Amino acid sequence: MTSDLFTSGWTAPVLNHLWQSTAVAILAWLLTLVVRNNSARVRYAIWLFASVKFLLPFQVLTYVGTLWAKPVTSSGAQLYTVVEEFTRPLRVAPITGATSLPPTSSFNVTALICGLVAFAWLCGFLVLSLRWILGWRCASQMARAAEAITAGREFDSLLRARSNAKIHPAAPLLLSSAGMEPAIFGIIRPVLLWPSGLSDRLNDAQIESIMAHELEHVRRRDNLTSAIHSLVEAIFWFHPLVRWMSSRLSEERERACDERVLEQSSRPEAYAESILKVCSFCMEPAAACVSGVSGADLKQRILRIMTRRTGSELSTARKCLLSIAALLLVAAPLGFGVLHGQSAASTDQTKENPPASETPRYEVATIKPSTEEDGRMMIRMTPDGAEINGVQVQLLLQEAFGVERDRIFGEPDWAHSKRFDIAAKVAPEDAPKLDKLKMEQRRAMLLPLLEERFGLKYHHESRELPMYSLVVAKGGPKLKVSTMPPPPPPDAPKGPEGPGGPQRDRVGGPGMMRMGPGSLEAQGGGMQFLAHALSTMVGKSVVDKTELTGNYDYTLHWTPDESSMPRVGPAGGGPPPQGDAPIDPNGPTLFTALEEQLGLKLQSEKGKVDVIVIDHIDLPTEN
């Protein structure tokens, strides 16, 4: 259930975006430490960049990158896959079939938790949004009720401050009867709200310094950037770093304005005294949607003003550092998107231009009940088709889908008991194509045959099943490296096939296998070959985790649980070896024999896998 909660639906993309944005915020904090002695406007820009990142998922930049992509070789796709695993540690659970999973208690609990989380987020978002909207409406009403000032001490001070700041045009000056401190309201057409009665407490130099401070908010467009972060704060109200970033932005914003005013004025004591008088006169602080005078730590702020502690300009090295960091944060997801788009473009191009040798279908097939009485089974791929003797439909399903027995559900009892002989051939013009197909493709050709002649209907589901892992035992492997010749290269010329030609196992390596009651013999078999054989005997999927990549000759003898078991002929055809070793009733079990004779063992575990559910299948008519 925990895995489903973090990887299903919208949760995985959201969590990926959250951790990426958190990483950028931490990086921003580290950068502000590097430039702590520089101008406050630099640190403000860094925090603002980190705030905007919360609104811009890397997936959006990746998508933009895909629009610039062109087909590329597989190496580029592999590079993208490696990077994607790092940037997206939480993956969306894959949909393994067209039919959805049946509802279960685990699914219902996951859906309930996701619904509660979404409801809690929506409540927080609405509360913060409503608070900002109410603040905006209150400031808007004060602006409409205020009177324009076009003359007087305040207006003259505004003109002087505007001339020093070189801001044209300046925000209109409005006299407000509300108790709010001087503030800038508006984004597109900002206005300066000046409380009535404040000028009586300030001299001309102090009024001019307050005007300069407010005009600096206009020049910096602080109301716009503040509105952007307010949106971030409303959406990500639950994130503690977002709340902390709010305080850092407010402090650096006011500090940046203070530094600018000190650069224009030679009387820091007048500016500090004006701030203290504003704070003592105004009963209400500025609303969240406006830029005022107060803010940050007042004591530290006054101390910095009186000592004229302004930050130094960035050196060339630090400018390069910040530029490179910003460029990487933007260019990296764009580059990933280009690589991803190149991989997708290459895939699309392959789909649009399919290979000339498409997988053919069997044109004719003869299906009869098997007359073999000794229980032997054989699946042999011929130059123009396939010959199948004494095989149950269950095994045909396994071969067609390329899965083990425990991954097929819903088949009738006769699929395990009744055996059939099948002779299938392709059209003469398609026979040369068979030689170019992989063994997996040859086996997959059985699926259309089962659908047409057995009326097979099925769907996929995802289920958690018990399985085994094939691992090396404590004493190490006891396997003999095979002396069979390696397979020829794919482009090597092929001679005529005969009964003495090289056999191939399930995964395409050279080899053959003979399996009987209590015995297994293999020549040139790989570990995946052995895992497939063991899964047939234990009735569960066996996953190779030995990390042994060679081909080996080995013999395994044990006492089976049942008195008999089916015998399988060579994987690629040819006559099966004659004679079976007698079964020792006092012999070891399969698990013990595997460890003692081959130095391997099976470990039980569970895993979520794709399974095949049979909806319908009929007995075939004889022909």
Tell me the whole-structure pTM to 2 decimals: 0.52
Asked if residue 348 has pLDDT above 50, the reply is: no
Mean pLDDT of 519-543: 80
pLDDT, residue 47, reads: 92
pLDDT at 75: 44
Question: Among positive and negative, which fits the CA dihedral 515, 520, 525, 531?
Answer: positive
Q: What's residue 565's pLDDT?
A: 45
Higher pLDDT, 364 or 504: 364
Q: How far apart are the first and last CA of the chain?
A: 50
pLDDT confidence of residue 98? 37
pLDDT of residue 286: 61
Q: How far apart are CA 221 and CA 29, in angstroms?
A: 23
The pLDDT of residue 352: 43
Q: Is the pLDDT of residue 282 over 80?
A: no
Strand pairing category for 457-472 and 600-616: antiparallel
Residue with the bigger pLDDT between 579 and 196: it is: 196
Which of 197-206, 441-450, 520-529 shows the lowest mean pLDDT across its residues?
A: 520-529
Stretch among 60-69, 582-591, 606-615 having the lowest mean pLDDT: 60-69
Per-residue tokens: 12: 């995985």
Q: Rounded CA gap, 379 and 74, in Å?
A: 35
Residue 191: in which H helix or E strand, if any? Answer: strand 191-195
Retrieve residue 507's tokens: 């995964």
- Comparing 159-168, 353-362, 396-405, the range with the smallest average pLDDT is 353-362
pLDDT at position 93: 44
Answer whether residue 236 shows pLDDT above 90. Answer: yes
Which pLDDT belongs to residue 623?
64
* Helix or strand (DSSP H, E) at 175: strand 173-176
Q: State the pLDDT at residue 76.
A: 46
- What are the structural domains of the chain? 2-101+315-350 (no CATH), 133-229+258-296 (3.30.2010), 362-486+504-616 (no CATH)
DSSP state of 405: G
The pLDDT assigned to 356 comes to: 41
Residue 511's pLDDT is what? 53
Per-chain mean pLDDT for the chain: 76
199 DSSP assignment: G
- With pLDDT > 90 as the criterion, what percentage of the chain qualifies? 10
pLDDT at residue 295, as a whole number: 64
Backbone φ and ψ of 622, nearest 5°: -70, 150
Give the pLDDT confidence score for residue 238 in this predicted structure.
92
pLDDT value, residue 242 = 92
State yes or no: pLDDT of 5 exceeds 50: no
Tens digits of residue pLDDT in 420-471: 888 989 888 888 888 778 777 888 888 888 888 888 999 988 888 888 888 9
Residue 48: name the closest of 234, 281, 222 by CA.
Answer: 222
Range with the lowest mean pLDDT among 122-131, 162-171, 548-557, 587-596? Answer: 162-171
Mean pLDDT of 105-119: 72
CA distances from 160 to 155, 241, 487 (A): 9, 40, 89
Q: What percent of the chain has pLDDT over 70?
A: 74
pLDDT value of position 578: 41
Q: Across residues 119-147, what is the average pLDDT? A: 91
The CA distance from 505 to 520, in Å, is 14
Q: Which residue has the higher pLDDT, 16 or 191?
A: 191
Mean pLDDT over 495-511 rounds to: 39
- Which pLDDT score is estimated for 375? 67
In sequence order, the β-bridge partners of residue 369 are 420
Mean pLDDT of 541-559: 85
CB neighbour list of residue 332: distance below 8 Å, 6 or more residues apart: none
* Residue-wise pLDDT tens digits, 135-188: 888 888 888 888 998 888 888 888 888 888 777 767 889 998 877 788 889 888
Orientation angle between helical segments 590-598 and 527-538, nearest 10 degrees? 160
The pLDDT-based confidence of 267 (bands split at 50, 70, 90) is: confident
Is pLDDT above 90 for 86?
Answer: no
Q: Residue 67: pLDDT band by 50, 70, 90 thresholds?
A: low
Question: Alpha-carbon torsion 565, 571, 575, 576, what sign?
Answer: negative
pLDDT at 299: 77
